[in-house]
Amino acid sequence: MKIEQTSVVDYDEVDTDFRMKLPVLFQRLQRGALHHSESVGLGSAAMVEAGAVWILNRMRVDIYRMPVYRDEITLRTWHKGSTGFRAGRDFLVLCGEEKVAAATSLWLYYDLSRKRITKIPESVSEPYTAEADDVLVAGAIDFAVDKTFVPVQTITITTREGDYDPNGHVNNTVYLEYLNTLIQRCGIVDAKVGQVVIQYLKEIGRDVHTILAGVAAAENTVRFRFFDPTAVYAAGFVTVGKPG
């Protein structure tokens, strides 16, 4: 089963060049995944009531052209199947017939009562149905990130009440707001972002009020990580220009 959503890029979703903001693109992807789950009776509220949630573990997004103000975009997403406690999901973003972005992601099934990752029940995996189509090259999700690099530049980010979602931690898309702030304020990325790769390592809970965001750039790649003295919350890299 493939899910499709159509929307228009609004004024509050674009930057000073009238291009869609990076976090907004990720919000569109998240909405598509949520809509798919709700359409098969496995929406977030129903999952929590049943004692489980999906946790986004990693994502790669290739951006061919960032949509601009008033563009009508179509998002398609589909379940790639599940094995053990892991499930895959792909996304395709179109403006008319033009492919403007594509993404692949890996999700983990988390048991709230036992507070651990656990095997996905058939009653959860089967309603989605699995699609064989790969939106990116096979193995695109099997990337490696550097969680321990020494940042060349670091900024402090204060979490906001609006950053938290119903699961009680900073929403996955908010990390992209942090990333956008980081790379712009450090003056690293002046060109168009072609690819974003991120691995979520530890949730940012309500007890965390500030984090550090660090970057190191080399040629067309910018490594980043969000951390504090006790943990690394997420890490990844951004490429400038065409997706790698």
Question: In the prediction, which pLDDT does 189 show?
Answer: 62
Question: In the prediction, which pLDDT does 163 show?
Answer: 97
Q: How far apart are the first and last CA of the chain?
A: 29
- Note down pLDDT in tens along the chain; length 244 residues: 999 999 999 999 999 999 999 999 999 999 999 999 999 999 999 999 989 999 999 999 999 999 999 999 999 999 999 999 999 999 999 999 999 999 999 999 999 999 999 999 999 999 999 999 999 999 999 999 999 999 999 999 999 999 999 989 999 999 999 999 998 888 776 568 899 999 999 999 999 999 999 999 988 899 999 999 999 999 999 998 777 5
Question: In the prediction, which pLDDT does 191 show?
Answer: 63
Instruction: Report d(CA 5, CA 93) in Å as an integer.
Output: 10
Question: In the prediction, which pLDDT does 190 show?
Answer: 57
Instruction: Report d(CA 27, CA 56) in Å as an integer.
Output: 13
pLDDT digits (tens, 9 = 90+) for 167-207: 899 999 999 999 999 988 887 765 688 999 999 999 999 99
C-alpha dist (Å) from residue 48 to 3, 112, 127, 161, 210 = 22, 8, 17, 21, 27
- 3-class secondary-structure state, position 25: helix
Q: What are the phi and psi torsion angles at 216 (to 5°)? A: -145, 125
Question: In the prediction, which pLDDT does 24 show?
Answer: 97
- 3-class secondary-structure state, position 155: strand
Please state the pTM of the whole predicted model. Answer: 0.95
Mean pLDDT, the chain, as a whole number?
94
Instruction: Report d(CA 81, CA 218) in Å as an integer.
Output: 36
